[in-house]
Structure 1
Amino acid sequence: MSVTMDIPATYKGPRKVFARLLDMGAREDRLLIFVLSGCVLTFVAQMPRLAREAHLSGQDLNMLLGGSLLGIVFIAPLILYVLALAAHWIARAAGGKGEAYCARLALFWAFLAASPLMLLNGLVAGFIGAGPALNLVGALWFAVFLWFWVSGMIQGYWVNQ
C-alpha cells in the first residue's frame, strides 16, 4: 500500500499497518523518508503560526522560517533517531525481542501518520492563535502520536517476535 493509504489505515488499526510495514523488510531508506517527510510536514504546519507571529510582532518572516527550517528539518531527525535508540533500550530492558529497526520504524511511522493532526494544529495556531482550541488540537495530536508509537512498539517487540 502507498503511504497515502497507510496513514488513514493507521487511524483504524495501527498495529495492523505496522505489522505490514515490518513484513516489507528492514530498509533504512524507507525510514529516512518517513522521518524526513514527517519533519517537512511539521515545518509546513508551522508556517501559519509563524506568519501570524511575524505579522503581530513585526518580525521578519524569513528569519522565523529559517530558524524553524533548521530546527525541524535538520536537527529534529537527529533527535528522533536518539529517541528511537532510547526506546529500543527501554523495550529490550522490559523483555522485548525486537531489533532497533522496530523502534525506529515505530517512532518515525507514528510521527508521519500523526502529521494530519499536526497540520490541523498549525492551522489552528495560525488562524485562531493561542487558546483552548489550540490546546485541544495539540493534546489530540500528542495522544494519537503516542497511541501509534506505543502500538508500533508492542507489535514490533512483543507480538511480531
Structure 2
Amino acid sequence: MLMGACTLTFVSQWPVLSRQAHLNGEELNPMLGGALFGWLFVAPLLFYALAAIGHGVARLLGGKGTWGAARIALFWSFLASTPLILLNGLTAGLVGAGPALSLVGLAWCVAFLWFWIAGMIVAEEGA
C-alpha cells in the first residue's frame, strides 16, 4: 500500500517538474530522478517513523492497538487520498501557484487527516 501510494505521488510530480523545467530552462531527467529517489526511497522511511509516532501518541491517549494496525491506518489513508494528490500535481503543473492549487491542497489535507484519524480510532480500539 505504501509503495503504491508513493509511486502515485511520484507520478503526480511529473506535471509540476515538467512545468518547472520548461519555465526555468532546466533539464527534466535529473529532476525526475531526485523525485523518484525522494518518493520511493526516503518517503517510506518517513512514513514508518510517522506511523510509530502516531501509535505512540495513541498509546499515551489510552489506545490499545498494535503498531502494525497503526501503520496500516496511516498507509491506507495515504493511499486512499492519492486521487487528490494526483489532482494537486495536475493543478500545479497546468495552473501553477494560486487559489486553485491551495484549494486542492487543502482538500487533500482534510481527506488524508479524515482517513487517518478514522483509521487510528479503529486501529487503537484493540483486539
Q: Normalising to structure 1: TM-score of the pair?
A: 0.77
2:99 corresponds to = 132
Partner AA of 2:95 in structure 1: I
Partner of 2:53: 86
Deviation per residue, 1:90-119 (Å, 9 max, x gap): 101110110001110010000000000000
**Residue matched to 1:45:** 12
Structure 2 unaligned residues grouped into runs of 5+: none
Match of 1:73 in 2: 40
> Among the aligned pairs, what percent are the same residue?
55
Runs of at least 4 residues of structure 1 off by over 4 A?
none
Distance in 1 separating the partners of 2:31 and 2:121: 38
Q: How many residues align?
A: 127
In structure 2, C-alpha distance between the alignment counterparts of 1:82 and 1:156, rounded to whole Å: 17
1:58 maps onto 2:25 in alignment: yes
**2-side partners of 1:66 and 1:147: how far apart?**
32
Rounded to whole Å, the distance in 2 between the matches of 1:128 and 1:140 is: 17
1:142 aligns with 2:104: no
Task: Report what 1:117 is aligned to.
Answer: 84
Per the alignment, residue 31 of structure 1 pairs with: none
Ranges in structure 1 where 5+ consecutive residues have no aligned partner: 1-33
Name the aligned partner's letter for residue 43 of structure 2: A
**Whole-angstrom distance in 2 between the partners of 1:156 and 1:72:** 26
- Aligned-pair CA distance for 1:156: 1.0
CA RMSD of aligned residues (A): 0.8
- What TM-score do the two structures reach when normalised by structure 2? 0.98
Q: Could you report, residue by residue, the CA deviation over 1:3-51 in whole angstroms, capped at 9, with x for unpaired residues?
A: xxxxxxxxxxxxxxxxxxxxxxxxxxxxxxx000000000000000000
